[in-house]
Amino acid sequence: MTKLKLTQVKSVIDRPKDQKFTMRSLGLKKVYHSVEIDATPSNVGMVEKVKHLLKVEKV
């Protein structure tokens, strides 16, 4: 399975609550924090929702 490395590059301050909850559910807690997740359809959908706050790399 493909993995994605997500790095938060922008703050969630002044963002809608659904975007804040999405970032939290992806496992991102603060700016420049990185996580690796599986590229499942549900995870890819969450990444698309907040892609303007993230840097995404394939691992």
User: Residue 29 above 90 pLDDT?
Assistant: yes
Q: Any idea where the domains of the chain sit in the sequence?
A: 3-58
Fold that domain 3-58 belongs to in CATH: Ribosomal Protein L30; Chain: A, (3.30.1390)
Given pLDDT bands bounded at 50, 70 and 90, which one contains residue 34?
A: very high
Contact 39, 6 (CB under 8 A): no
Q: What is the pLDDT of residues 13-23, one digit of tens each?
A: 999 999 999 99
pLDDT at 1: 82
Q: Give me the residue label for tokens 């549900």.
A: 42
Q: Where are the beta strands (DSSP E) in 1-59?
A: 3-8, 34-38, 54-58
Q: What is the pTM of this model?
A: 0.91
